[in-house]
């Protein structure tokens, strides 16, 4: 008689992890962070044309467009597969820090106050949203660990 091996998809720990992730993603706080992250990413992508520095600082405009699109993909990933993507939020924080310093590093000449302010505000929002995403995963993880230890 051949014993049937259940697939990894049916493993109790994996099923519990998915249930925890679905619960975390369904919380209003997680949805608000996801929405604000997406809005910050979209603003970053189009900010050179909104603020009006796309012609004067072409390299900075391209930088902001690429980073905004990358952050939008991250934000959409948080919603679609939170259990697999919330751990990548540190990359969003790094992109936010780069966005803050980019006007001085990328442009090669003194940036305008509009481009500086736009990148500083967008970068700060991105860093805050990334830290909020990291915190949600940390709180959820510590609560899960604490509940498992109290049950034993």
Q: Tell me what pLDDT residue 97 has.
A: 96
Give me Rg for the CA atoms of the chain: 20
Distances (CA, A) of 48 to 58, 68, 74, 117: 9, 11, 21, 11
Query: Residue-wise pLDDT tens for the chain (152 aa)?
Result: 555 666 766 666 666 666 665 555 566 777 788 889 899 999 999 999 999 888 888 999 999 999 999 999 888 876 666 555 666 778 889 999 999 999 989 877 666 788 899 999 999 999 999 898 888 766 554 444 444 444 44
Instruction: Provide the token pair at 118.
Output: 């736009």
Q: Report how far residue 27's alpha carbon sits from residue 22's, in angstroms, rounded to the nearest whole number.
A: 9
Total-model pTM: 0.72
Q: Tell me what pLDDT residue 56 has.
A: 85
Q: Report how far residue 125's alpha carbon sits from residue 67's, in angstroms, rounded to the nearest whole number.
A: 14
Q: What is the DSSP string of 100-126?
A: HHHHHHTSSSPPPHHHHHHHHHHHHHH
Q: Report how far residue 79's alpha carbon sits from residue 96's, in angstroms, rounded to the nearest whole number.
A: 19
Closest CA to 78 of 40, 14, 35: 35
């Amino acid at each position: 008689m051949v014993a049937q091996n259940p697939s990894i998809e049916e493993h109790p720990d994996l099923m519990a992890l998915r249930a925890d992730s679905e619960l975390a993603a369904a919380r209003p706080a997680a949805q608000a962070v996801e929405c604000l992250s997406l809005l910050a990413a979209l603003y970053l992508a189009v900010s050179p044309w909104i603020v009006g520095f796309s012609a004067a600082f072409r390299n900075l405009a391209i930088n902001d467009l690429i980073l905004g699109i990358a952050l939008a993909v991250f934000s959409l990933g948080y919603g679609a597969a939170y259990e697999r993507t919330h751990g990548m939020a540190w990359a969003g924080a790094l992109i936010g820090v780069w966005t803050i310093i980019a006007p001085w590093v990328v442009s090669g000449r003194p940036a305008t106050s509009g481009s500086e302010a736009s990148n500083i505000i967008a970068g700060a929002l991105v860093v805050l949203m990334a830290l909020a995403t990291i915190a949600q995963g940390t709180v959820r993880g510590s609560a899960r660990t604490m509940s498992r230890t109290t049950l034993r």
